[in-house]
Amino acid sequence: MKSSKLRIALTVSAILLAALLIAAGVLEIVRRETASSLQDQLAAERWGGESAQLSCFFAAGEGYDASRILSVEQTVDASLTEASLAAEDGARLWYHVYSTETSLYGAAAQGGASLQVTVFGGEYFYLHQMPLISGSYLAPGGANAGYIFLDENAAWQLFGALNISGMSMTLGGEEYIVCGVGRIPKGTLYDEAYGGKPRAWVLYESKAGKTVREITAYEAVLPNPIDGFAKGVLEKIFPADEGAVTVENSARFDLLPLFAHLKERSTLGVRTSSVTYPWWENIARVTEYRCATLLCVETVLLACALLLCLVWIGIAWNPTGRALKSGAVRLRDAAEEKYNDLTRPKPKKD
């Protein structure tokens, strides 16, 4: 009877153990898929090699403007050269994006609307890969200063159509040519963070950009031969004591940073910085919180599975446990005896 009850208990525990492991595995898949869905957090992975993606965010009025970018480029190049990091012929070793947002009135054939305008320099659309509906992305460089990129909301409100590449419009009273239209990301989180206001993108070299020199976000993909190297380079340029917040995007969903995020959960609602994050960073921070929560549940499930294994190993293999304990005692006694032999005073020779 006792043996029968033991078999039943072992069977039930085996089923429970399998359920715990399956649940933990499913949560891990969900966590990984949730993190990998944010394409603008995977720029270092797309770039390849030992690289890291970094973002620096600044509060308005801190004095960071586009005129500093040349100095930033020179400092980064010098840091990479000092670390003996060099690009192959014709290749780039790193790239960056700097941007800010403002509100301007746009008008076209169909009508007009107040637009949320991102003014940027650098490879913005290489990092933030908004799906194309028509046309092409707005490439950096002064030659493209007269072009504008719209999201689908702006295209509908201004033109009543999406295939509008090459058409003219005005932004802040200045003439622009539409180079392309992008699809707005879908989902509840995007609806909240991206917002319902139509959006447009222009370059810092444009007429609109020349009136908005301050930058609020600087992003880069840099070589990272050892952990923390790339982040250290940018933190020297944009120190925290000057109001900058630096994030290593490419590592934020790794296990150790997520566990560290769990420790900070009690203070996540406390803001001591005046930095206002752009919509993509707000999405990443909410996703980071969700992934940390999933990891917490995974850890609890795996801990329960381990505890269950230890309990039933102790019950089912009690003789083995006693044998191990006996062996450990004998090993300890042998070690003590050897120690006593070595430390015991030797008799003096005549």
Whether 222 shows a pLDDT value over 80: the answer reads yes
* Confidence (pLDDT) at 92: 86
Tokens 């090459």 found at: 166
Residues paired with 101 in a beta bridge = 118
Q: Residue 269 and residue 179: Cα distance in Å, rounded? A: 40
3-class secondary structure, 114: strand
Confidence of residue 97 (pLDDT cuts 50, 70, 90): very high
Nearest partner of 37 among 295, 288, 297, 256, judged by Cα: 288
What single-letter amino acid sits at 20?
L
Whether 346 shows a pLDDT value over 60: the answer reads no
Give the strand pairing for 217-223 and 51-57. Answer: antiparallel
Q: Please tell me the least confidently modeled range out of 66-70, 270-274, 287-291, 332-336.
A: 270-274
* Confidence (pLDDT) at 14: 80
Q: Residue 150 and residue 138: Cα distance in Å, rounded? A: 10
Give the residue-averaged pLDDT of 27-34.
Answer: 92
Q: Please tell me the least confidently modeled range out of 134-148, 167-181, 264-278.
A: 264-278
